[in-house]
């Protein structure tokens, strides 16, 4: 009997905060995020409701997955928190972000684990998302593209106020950008800042990045992906403004 052929597995090198694995003609992506000391337990440094914690945790990993044109398939939640009403709020926040991303409850399989044996006094949560795509959107930046920041970098307590003031990017902004032909590539910005992610975009496409003098700090951490960088056709800034109802800042261009 002829041996069944095994699928060929190849890890795709990327500078993004992603693992990318190619199996035949399909790309699998793995994104993750974690958060500690933020939540609703007595020893947390920053006190927030469970729904807020869940929302921002899910947002980061979802942005990393969706930005490369991958569809989330499965989500794992590793929770160092005790089951409680706040715990239920956390799950509601996670599911709310998947809904904001345009995903239905039956589109993604969830698995989770929480602490049931010991009392938890400080919150720790983690998320991992498995995604898949036939068309990976990495290395698509073109020479002459303008780099625009959607949203402003905020971290810690700043994030809550900035979200109310519509100063930070979210999944609805990301979905709009993905649907436009003049945005060649996007990348969410987190703890390493705008300049780092701009260089990731450039290197992935074999280009150089030339920054402008900016009104925002390009090295400031952007917390839970409060900024999305978009590589846009040079003459499409006005069109971009129609698709992103958030602050837009010209960051530089690619050569």
In the block, tokens 């790309």 appear at 27
In the block, tokens 């602490």 appear at 115
Token readout for 99 is 């809904």
The pLDDT score that the predictor gives to residue 159 is: 93
Domains and CATH numbers, the chain: 9-133 (3.30.1330.10), 146-254 (3.90.650.10)
The pLDDT score that the predictor gives to residue 4 is: 58
The pLDDT score that the predictor gives to residue 242 is: 84
- Beta carbons within 8 Å of 115's beta carbon, 6+ residues apart: 79, 80, 81, 82
- CA distances to 89, 217, 220 from 213, rounded to whole Å, are 42, 10, 15
The pLDDT score that the predictor gives to residue 86 is: 83
**pLDDT digit string (tens) for the chain, length 255 residues:** 555 555 556 889 899 999 999 998 999 999 999 999 999 999 999 999 999 999 999 999 999 999 999 999 999 999 999 988 888 899 999 999 999 999 987 889 999 999 999 999 999 999 999 999 999 999 999 999 999 999 999 998 899 999 999 999 999 999 999 999 999 999 999 899 999 999 999 999 999 999 999 889 999 999 999 999 999 998 898 889 888 889 999 999 999
The pLDDT score that the predictor gives to residue 150 is: 96
The pLDDT score that the predictor gives to residue 105 is: 72
The pLDDT score that the predictor gives to residue 9 is: 66
Does the pTM exceed 0.75?
A: yes
DSSP H helices, 154-249, are: 158-164, 171-178, 193-204, 237-243
The pLDDT score that the predictor gives to residue 238 is: 86
From CA 28, how far away is CA 136, in angstroms rounded? Answer: 9
- Strand, helix or coil at 171? helix
Q: Are 13 and 109 in contact (CB under 8 A)?
A: no
CA proximity to 63, closest of 195, 187, 223: 187
């Amino acid at each position: 009997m002829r041996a069944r052929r095994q699928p060929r597995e190849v890890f795709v090198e990327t500078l993004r905060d992603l693992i990318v694995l190619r199996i035949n003609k399909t790309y699998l992506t793995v994104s993750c995020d974690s958060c500690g000391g933020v939540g609703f337990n007595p020893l947390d440094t920053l006190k927030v409701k469970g729904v807020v914690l869940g929302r921002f945790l899910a947002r980061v990993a979802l942005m990393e997955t969706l930005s490369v044109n991958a569809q989330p398939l499965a989500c794992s939640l590793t929770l160092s928190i005790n089951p409680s009403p706040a715990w239920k709020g956390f799950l509601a926040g996670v599911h709310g972000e998947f809904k904001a991303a345009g995903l239905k409850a039956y589109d993604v399989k969830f698995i989770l684990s929480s602490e049931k044996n010991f009392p938890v006094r400080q919150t720790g949560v983690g998320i991992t998302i498995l995604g898949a795509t036939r068309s990976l959107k990495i290395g698509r930046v073109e020479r002459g593209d303008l780099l625009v920041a959607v949203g402003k970098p905020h971290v810690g307590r700043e994030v809550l106020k900035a979200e109310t003031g519509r100063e930070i990017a979210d999944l609805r902004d990301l979905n709009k950008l993905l649907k436009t032909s003049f945005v060649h590539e996007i990348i969410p910005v987190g703890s390493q800042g705008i300049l780092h992610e701009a260089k990731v975009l450039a290197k992935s496409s074999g280009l150089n990045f030339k920054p402008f003098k900016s009104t925002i700090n390009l090295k400031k951490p952007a917390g839970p992906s409060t900024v999305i960088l978009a590589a846009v056709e040079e003459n499409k800034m006005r069109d971009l403004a129609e698709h992103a109802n958030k602050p837009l800042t010209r960051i530089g261009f690619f050569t």
